[in-house]
Amino acid sequence: MDKKLYIQALLVINIIIHVSSATDVVSSAKNISAIFIFGDSIFDAGNNHFNKNCSAQADFPPYGSTFFHHPTGRFTNGRTVADFISQFMGIGMQQPYLEAQNAVFNGSRKDYPSNGINFASAGSGVLPGTNKDWGVISIQEQLRQFQTLAEQNRIDKRVVEKSVIFLESGSNDIFNYFLPFDPPTLDPDAYVEAMTNKVANLIDQIYKLGSQRIAVFSLGPVGCIPARALLPAAPLNRCYGKINVMVKKYNKALERLVNNIPLTHPGAVAVYGAVYDMVQHFRALPNRYGKSLSLSEKRFELNPVQ
């Protein structure tokens, strides 16, 4: 897992450096002094772990087994994509907001980290009600936490201006759309539109806080995760095509949104991280990344086929 995430991180870094060097706002990645992270389990570095009212936890093995050698609250055996990017850029991994908050409150640290903060909460979505009963921190609340720190001058304005924002969310919203005990009231297209509108609102608020750079990550093939087996009519020997169709529609909407950011926010730099495409690339050329697929894996299609 670590190697695949490392490759994804390098691809995103290359995009950030390339786009940034072409603008007047940023001359190179060296200008980035901090990363502020919003999202779900793809980015969560331990906020749920420090949220004792949250039932979505990764505080047991094999989580954390390959790098930290103990569970850290990350929903991976090692580091997240954000961790890799931060280390590659030489600014250090971002501390979970709730961990930093506890340290400030108990006096073990004077103020919040200057290299950015990770606000992500596993299980959350772009829709405020997604998995609310689990006690997760919605992405809207994550942004409010960031906004409060900025308004109270607990984060230096110059740090925010030189930062890059990472935003990734939506997989839990789409997965929950297919749960049998809470039928959706919207059709798939309207649901995706509602999700996209929430993301557009989040991006507007982020730029109002002073950050000029954002990397918006698309979703991976949610219809291929093992948990799909919990859904009625989901195939066990291949991906759940209906979910991946919805994911692709959402990703296309995100990409259009990101492409329009320089128009709606003059001077802003926006990057779209095509995660779905990266996963397909890994599966198409596994040997290039030190992995070979078994026969059963080769039969397991990523394409949205029923």
d(CA 60, CA 74): 10
Distance CA 288, CA 207 (A): 38
Question: Which token pair is 115?
Answer: 């290299």
Q: Name 39's bridge partners.
A: 168
Mean pLDDT of 272-292: 82
Q: What is the pLDDT of residues 237-278, one digit of tens each?
A: 889 999 999 999 999 999 999 999 999 999 899 999 999 988
| pLDDT tens sequence across 20-44 | 444 433 344 567 889 999 999 999 9
Average pLDDT, the chain: 87
Q: 111-163 pLDDT, tens per residue?
A: 999 999 999 999 999 999 999 999 999 999 999 999 999 999 999 999 999 99
Q: How confident is the model at residue 12 (pLDDT cuts 50, 70, 90)?
A: low
**φ, ψ (nearest 5 deg) of residue 67:** -120, -55
Q: Does 277 or 48 have the greater pLDDT score?
A: 48
Position 9 pLDDT exceeds 90:
no
Instruction: Give the bridge partners for 38, in sequence order.
Output: 167
At CB < 8 A and 24+ separation, what contacts does 7-12 make?
7/278, 7/282, 7/289, 8/81, 8/84, 8/275, 8/278, 9/81, 9/84, 9/85, 9/88, 10/84, 10/88, 11/273, 11/278, 12/81, 12/85, 12/215, 12/217, 12/271, 12/273
